[in-house]
Chain A
Amino acid sequence: EAQVTQNPRYLITVTGKKLTVTCSQNMNHEYMSWYRQDPGLGLRQIYYSMNVEVTDKGDVPEGYKVSRKEKRNFPLILESPSPNQTSLYFCASSPAVEGVGSGANVLTFGAGSRLTVL
């Protein structure tokens, strides 16, 4: 089944304790992206990647890191989490469209990871 898998789905942690949210897709998609969803703010893009070793900042990258060493994986790293990073996080992927940017394609989302930082 074609899917985007995120882990963990739920996590409660404490301020300053490094954590990684993994994201993996099995569709050979070039484009991968992370979003956070907060009440009243909708979905905001954190980072995106157009292919292996290519990553770019979205609108809210502060406090996050990503890497794209393999096409299928795009982990989100919180080096020193803070309470304002408590949120629902979504990973998504889409195929590239030749001649058009990857962002033009339909996103397949993971199920979401609910993170609470105390």
Chain B
Amino acid sequence: AQKVTQAQTEISVVEKEDVTLDCVYETRDTTYYLFWYKQPPSGELVFLIRRNSFDEQNEISGRYSWNFQKSTSSFNFTITASQVVDSAVYFCALTMPYRDDKIIFGKGTRLHILP
């Protein structure tokens, strides 16, 4: 079965702390794509990153970094030196394009950055 698990329902950290959001996925396909999307309090969904199953390089974009580990089926997201503007719901998603075109989202992690 294909599945995305975001075990952390809600996290609160104080501003400037680092925080990691976990994402564990399940698929038997060898070709798949993983995504992170952000939903700020305003409600829109914003793309953050896409990674395919053949590219295990970690990625850093400013204060954001992603750790993709196929051995543990995880695609974790770390925010360094968090800011209040990082407060949002973050969704991890999985798609297997050679199986079908469904996109499976995790249940999301609500992140509160406290000033």
A101 touches B45 (CB 8 A): no
- A31–B43 Cα distance when bound, in Å, is 22
B102 touches A59 (CB 8 A): yes
Q: A40-B107, A42-B108, A43-B108 are in contact. Are A101 and B95 (CB under 8 A)?
A: yes
Chain A neighbourhood of B47, CB < 8 A: 106-108
A74 at the interface (CB under 8 A from B): no
Question: Chain A: interface secondary structure?
Answer: strand
Q: Count A-side interface residues using an 8 Å CB cutoff.
A: 29
Chain B neighbourhood of A40, CB < 8 A: 9, 107
Q: How many of chain B's residues touch chain A, expressed as a range?
A: 20 to 34
Q: Which residues of A (25-74) have their CB < 8 Å from a CB of B?
A: 31, 33, 35, 40-45, 48, 50, 56, 58-59
**A105 → chain B closest CB, angstroms:** 8
Q: A41-B107, A43-B108 are in contact. Are A48 and B101 (CB under 8 A)?
A: yes
- A-B interface contact total, Cβ < 8 Å: 74
1/0 per residue, CB under 8 A from B, across A71-102: the answer is 00000000000000000101010000100111
B107 touches A103 (CB 8 A): no
A107 touches B108 (CB 8 A): no
- A43–B107 Cα distance when bound, in Å, is 7
| A residues at B contact (CB < 8 Å) | 31, 33, 35, 40-45, 48, 50, 56, 58-59, 88, 90, 92, 97, 100-104, 106-109, 111-112
**Across the A-B interface, the 3 shortest Cβ-Cβ residue pairs:** A101-B97, A42-B107, A103-B101
